[in-house]
Amino acid sequence: MSENDNLQDAEGKKEVESTEPTPTQETTNTVETESDIDSTTDNTTEATEDVAATTTVSDEHVDEIEASNAEDAEDEANAERHEVEEKDYHAMSMTELVAEFNRLLKHHKVQTISKNINEIKSEFNAKYSELLDEKKEEFIADGGVEMDFYYSNDTKKQFNSLYKEYKQSINAYYNEREQALKQNLNNRLQIIEDIKGLLSVEENMGTTYKNFKELQDKWRNAGPIPRDKYNNAWNTYHHHVERFYDFLHLNNDLRDMDFKHNYDQKIKIIERAEELAKDENTNRSFRELQVLHKLWKEELGPVGKEHREAIWERFSNATKAIHDKRQAYYADMDKAHEKNLERKEEIIAQITAIAEDKNDSHSAWQKKIKEIEALRDAFFKAGKVPIKVNEATWAKFKEAVRTFNRGKNSFYKGLKKDQYENLKKKKDLIQIAEDNKDSEDFKTVTPLMKKIQNEWKKIGHVPRRDSDKIWKQFKTACNHYFDRMHAARKAEDQHLFDAFDSKVKLLDNLKAMELSDDPKADIEILKSKIAEWKDIGHVPQNKRYIDGKFYKAIDDAFDKLKMDKAKLEMIKFDSKLENLANPDDTRLLDNEFNFIKKRMSEIRSEINQLENNLQFFSNVKADNPLVKDVHKNIANHKKELESWQAKLNKVRGMYK
């Protein structure tokens, strides 16, 4: 098989002629000529007779290389498309897709990113379509009419703007390139004609050879041509180059020198291809193999007939090894895609199960919404699935999510109905509050305002967009009323607040008091402060705690006096009684009376218990430590009982 046997086009359907016939092949089989490449070329019959090569079945592993190189041939910069990083666009959100779209436009030539942009567009439209369906269902669930539905967002607007920029740039690029490709093709066809013409020129062989080399240089620099003309143009060119070497009686030294140079270079290419066949990075080896094929085809001429079949066979075998390894890599990738499909099917089943869950509470739906969001993210991050089931899998996913959204929307539609009823109830309470906020009838309105505040708490949720607004209205009206009420009451009870201020000063003065060495004089001072405190009078009810602070400070002062504890205790008790005395309300005095009687009863019981315990020590001497301790306790309790009896007598005296 020759090195360029009937290469297929990018789709692997169109056969093209070989460029290096084997030594045994005859050059009598008619194939496509340069007249087929461009209809403007003249002398079709002559070209058909001159350009001949054998046609055989093409090799798939070479076709793939040739198709890719043909695509690159339209634009030499288009080879850069292989360097554009391909990302997992399926796993990206719409915002991330827009950011990637923008990055590609800014950092790569527009003709190199078409494949990436098409994938981004497909993923973005699919995700936006899903979002659009969800928003439409929410709109209809809220009572909207489908024909009135419209939705857009900033992300979609950014995408549309970038895509418009891309289309303008790519269209401008193709418009500019079209004429250049045609002109380059015409130039190459003319070079082929000029090489053909060298065979009929009678001149010095050295001059003819020099002209031939100049035409080869012109060919190498002639620029890109249309991809569908690429293989035919190159095959025709190589055919006539071979004819120049094989049929023109050139100087053997010049021919052999070229043959040897081409042979040596092609051997190097083969050796490099054989090294690449061992590389585990199949994409990298395939890209470099493309370059090697381009060098073989575009930069180097033929070798001696005796080597042509052998070196092409060797190069083809190395190419096949790389191709097979690459196919195995894609087979493994297909297996990975199958696993991704299994994972996505599991996710779809989980979404379906959640959608079928009948737990219809707000908290349950909030939990399910979070679970669905996590599953959606997992679906997109699960990776690609086999192309043949991609659309079907995506459709199943969207339908599962759509079913969930329908259930969610149905639940919240009913919830919103309740919320609107709650909103009406709260607005009614707002109206009551505002109607009464300036009332002067505090006795009647105050219970009413407290009642509607309690009712407000019992009413359920309202639509979120109204919640803060109506609460502020209600709170403002209620605060307005109660501020007025408190101000009015404060004005009425100003003397109570004045009394409180006076007591605060007196308490501070008491705490700062320093006792003298004369307890009697100190007692008189403390009694005077107690009398002054009582003379100040009542304070507001919520400020009455200050009385407790004052009498605690009095007790602390008494405790610091240097005098008999029993006598001091009675003085402190007298002070306490002064605080309890109130001719209009004896409840505090009654409580104290009952407390003293109860305490006296407890002490008598304790004395009886101790006296009973002594009976167990009838045979024990009186000086026994345990017996002595019991007698001591009985004496202490009787003394304490006398003290409480004295207090009780004082309390009884207060009732007279």
For residue 25, is pLDDT > 50?
no
For residue 359, is pLDDT > 60?
yes
Q: Please tell me the predicted confidence (pLDDT) of residue 251.
A: 59
29 closest CA partner among 39, 38, 18, 37 = 18
Last residue of a domain, one of 491, 521, 539: 491
For residue 442, is pLDDT > 80?
yes
Residue 617 DSSP class? G
Share of the chain above pLDDT 90, in %: 18
For residue 5, is pLDDT > 90?
no
pTM of the model: 0.44
Segment 382-437, tens digit of pLDDT:
888 888 888 899 889 888 988 888 888 888 777 777 888 899 999 999 999 999 99
Residue 472 and residue 457 share a domain: yes
Strand-pair partners of 8: 15
Residue 466 and residue 399 share a domain: no
566 closest CA partner among 474, 476, 639, 514 = 639
- Residue 214 located in a structural domain: no
Quickly state the pLDDT bin for 281 (edges 50, 70, 90). Answer: confident
- Residue 393 located in a structural domain: yes
Q: Please tell me the predicted confidence (pLDDT) of residue 455.
A: 93
Last residue of a domain, one of 491, 513, 548: 491
Q: Please tell me the predicted confidence (pLDDT) of residue 435.
A: 93
Q: Which two tokens stand for residue 376?
A: 């959606």
Residue 539 and residue 486 share a domain: no
Segment 401-410, tens digit of pLDDT:
888 888 888 8
Average pLDDT of 277-286? 84
- Residue 142 located in a structural domain: no
The angle that helices 464-492 and 494-512 make with each other, rounded to 10 degrees, is 80
- Residue 241 located in a structural domain: no
Average pLDDT of 344-360? 89
Length of the chain counted residue by residue: 656
Residue 378 and residue 407 share a domain: yes
Q: Which residues contact 288 (CB under 8 A, 6 or more apart)?
A: 272, 276
Lowest-pLDDT range, 69-78, 292-301, 600-609?
A: 69-78
Q: Which residues contact 279 (CB under 8 A, 6 or more apart)?
A: 285
How far apart, in whole angstroms, are the C-alpha atoms of residue 205 and residue 245? 12
Measured from the Cβ of residue 71, the count of other Cβ atoms closer than 10 Å reads 16
Average pLDDT of 295-309? 84
Quickly state the pLDDT bin for 59 (edges 50, 70, 90). Answer: low
More confident residue, 231 or 189: 189
How far apart, in whole angstroms, are the C-alpha atoms of residue 452 and residue 4? 94
Query: What does the angle CA 350 – CA 353 – CA 356 come to, to the nearest 5 degrees?
Result: 155
Residue 574 and residue 551 share a domain: yes
Residue 501 and residue 481 share a domain: no
Quickly state the pLDDT bin for 543 (edges 50, 70, 90). Answer: confident
Quickly state the pLDDT bin for 247 (edges 50, 70, 90). Answer: low
Residue 514 DSSP class? -
Quickly state the pLDDT bin for 58 (edges 50, 70, 90). Answer: very low
Query: Residue 104: how many CA atoms within 13 Å on its side-chain side?
Result: 32
Quickly state the pLDDT bin for 463 (edges 50, 70, 90). Answer: confident
Burial class (CB in 10 A: 0-12, 13-18, 19+), 118: exposed
H or E segment and range at residue 3: none
* Total structural domains within the chain: 4
- Residue 508 located in a structural domain: yes
The Cα-based distances of 366 to 247, 363, 412, 422 in angstroms read 85, 5, 11, 21
More confident residue, 576 or 22: 576
How far apart, in whole angstroms, are the C-alpha atoms of residue 120 and residue 127? 11
Q: Please tell me the predicted confidence (pLDDT) of residue 351.
A: 92
Lowest-pLDDT range, 255-259, 436-440, 500-504?
A: 255-259
Last residue of a domain, one of 533, 550, 580: 580
Domain that holds residue 465: 420-491
More confident residue, 7 or 398: 398
- Residue 510 located in a structural domain: yes
For residue 75, is pLDDT > 60?
no
- Residue 92 located in a structural domain: no
Segment 306-341, tens digit of pLDDT:
898 899 999 889 898 888 888 888 888 888 888 999
For residue 17, is pLDDT > 50?
no
Q: Round the average pLDDT of the chain to a whole number and report it.
A: 79
Residue 396 and residue 465 share a domain: no
More confident residue, 111 or 568: 111
Average pLDDT of 562-567? 70
Q: Please tell me the predicted confidence (pLDDT) of residue 50.
A: 34
- Residue 224 located in a structural domain: no
